[in-house]
Amino acid sequence: MTATEDRPTASPTLLPTLPGEAYVDPAYFAREQSAVFERMWFCAVRADDLPTPGSFRTVEVGRESVLVSRARDGGPRAFFNVCRHRGARLCTEAAGQRRRTFQCPYHAWTYDFDGRLVSAPNLSSMPDVDRVEHGLRTVHVREWLGYVWVCLADQPPSFEADVQGAVVGRLGSLALLDGYDVDSLVLGRRIRYDVAANWKLIVENFMECYHCATIHPELTQVLPEFAAGYAAQYYVGRGAEFGEQVEGFTVDGSAGFGPLSGLAAEQDRRYFAVTIRPQVFLSLVPDHVIVHRSYPVAADRTVVECDWLYAPAVVASGADLDRSVELFHRVNVQDFAACERCQPAMSSRVYARGGALVPSEHHIAEFHDWLTDRVAAG
């Protein structure tokens, strides 16, 4: 059975989900890797994690290892992490710093920070070797919101349409996002979660709040309207309003830090959530921004890296961020535990034809249709 066959019949109230195999079948996951993660813009690393020329990170994007680095001119570069000689992994570490070049640990083929082949044993005796042609294979890069985004496609899709367009579709315009000046914020805390669940379960969970009253007591105390089951991102331009007695987006509702300087009055005491397909979630609150990046590892495993970003003065002051971070950390732990409870049932015969989406989850059906179309086209 394919992901589109034998799905339950839709009704005005209940819409069908994807079938269970879409969450467990390695072959389906491989098609997603090819059609989605290897063709779309992928948020790879935080730009500040590449502070100087020669700084690098290696990231799994789909089925490929990608080397993301900082070049001599200060700009980001990305390459397939494959030596052009015999295919050895060029950089085996998750992160590091090189002084002058990247050198393959197998036969010592050596590349500069722009990917050009600069030396190799006996290279002088091979004058016909084109050092550009045999340089590292480049990957398209963009730097936005303080992150380096990469695209493995030969012809990448429009960044403005696919990435920035997702923000416009949720917030109504980029102007609302501009008020947070995300590029200027600095990392206050990072937590890495290793989730035993398919990446789509995590996306679906973030898109809906039907579960919020059940598993998020701290969040619904700060954002009471979430208890009704409708996620704020269900509505274009809407942010969920803080409760009357809530002072800040903290685990106990106590005051956080001063609002970011560029916010408009209608953004204060509001929470805005944005999904940027296929693997980024933005959470915007008055005094900080939370960025989730998902890295699908297998059909039943996803690594999620979550960054809490603050105004530089807040972090430089050594302010205690714990109450601020703890709220969404608890939400993450609660959400990922829920996804892990679902994952085993995806292979059950009971879920072979999938499940159902209630009205407050109907927008997830559009995500399923989008994904099914991409995989089929791929």
pLDDT at residue 315, rounded to an integer: 98
Tokens of 158: 């429009």
Looking up tokens 């491989």 gives 30
DSSP 144-212: ETTEEEEE-SSSPPPHIIIIIHHHHHHHSSHHHHHTT-GGG-EEEEEEEEEESS-HHHHHHHHH--TTH
Report pLDDT digits (tens) over 13-28: 899 999 999 999 999 9
Residue pair 180/284 in contact (Cβ under 8 Å)? The answer is yes
Residues 145 and 244 in one domain: no
Residues 261 and 206 in one domain: yes
Question: pTM of the prediction?
Answer: 0.94
Residue pair 34/62 in contact (Cβ under 8 Å)? The answer is yes
Residues 95 and 130 in one domain: yes
Q: Which of 151, 76, 59, 171 is nearest to 115 (CA)?
A: 76
* pLDDT for residue 1 is more than 50: no
CA dist 200 and 36 (Å) reads: 12
Q: Which of 83, 55, 82 is nearest to 69 (CA)?
A: 55
10 assigned to some structural domain: no
pLDDT at residue 126, rounded to an integer: 79
pLDDT at residue 4, rounded to an integer: 45
Q: Is the peptide bond before 259 cis (omega within 30 degrees of 0)?
A: no
Report pLDDT digits (tens) over 239-271: 999 999 999 999 999 999 999 999 999 999 999
The most distant pair of C-alpha atoms in the chain lies apart, rounded to whole Å, by 76
7 assigned to some structural domain: no
Residue pair 305/196 in contact (Cβ under 8 Å)? The answer is no
Domain ends where: 124, 151, 178? 151
Q: Which residues pair with 127 in a beta bridge?
A: none
Confidence of residue 42 (pLDDT cuts 50, 70, 90): very high
Report pLDDT digits (tens) over 115-154: 999 988 887 877 887 778 889 999 999 999 999 999 999 9
pLDDT at residue 196, rounded to an integer: 98
| Residue range of the domain that includes 350 | 15-38+165-377
CA dist 261 and 69 (Å) reads: 31
* pLDDT for residue 30 is more than 50: yes
CA dist 205 and 331 (Å) reads: 11
CA dist 239 and 267 (Å) reads: 8
8 assigned to some structural domain: no
* pLDDT for residue 219 is more than 80: yes
Residues 204 and 332 in one domain: yes
228 assigned to some structural domain: yes
Tokens of 336: 């990922």
DSSP 24-57: T-HHHHHHHIIIIITTS-EEEEEGGGS-STTEEE
5 assigned to some structural domain: no
Across residues 320-345, what is the average pLDDT?
Answer: 98
Q: How far is CA 111 from CA 79, 97, 128, 136, 156, in A?
A: 11, 14, 17, 7, 25
* pLDDT for residue 35 is more than 70: yes
160 assigned to some structural domain: no
* pLDDT for residue 7 is more than 60: no
Residues 180 and 118 in one domain: no
Average pLDDT, the chain: 94
Residues 266 and 279 in one domain: yes
pLDDT at residue 90, rounded to an integer: 97
1 assigned to some structural domain: no
Which uninterrupted H or E stretch holds 371? helix 362-377
Ramachandran class of 145: left when φ > 0, alpha when ψ lies in -120 to 50, beta otherwise: left
Across residues 50-69, what is the average pLDDT?
Answer: 98
Tokens of 276: 């940027």
CA dist 128 and 98 (Å) reads: 28
Q: Which of 276, 97, 295 is nearest to 192 (CA)?
A: 295
Residues 197 and 64 in one domain: no
Looking up tokens 């105004």 gives 311
Residues 95 and 78 in one domain: yes
SS3 state of residue 107 = coil
* pLDDT for residue 10 is more than 70: no
CATH of the domain at 336: 3.90.380.10
Looking up tokens 């994690």 gives 49
* pLDDT for residue 5 is more than 50: no
Across residues 215-235, what is the average pLDDT?
Answer: 87
**Domain count within the chain:** 2
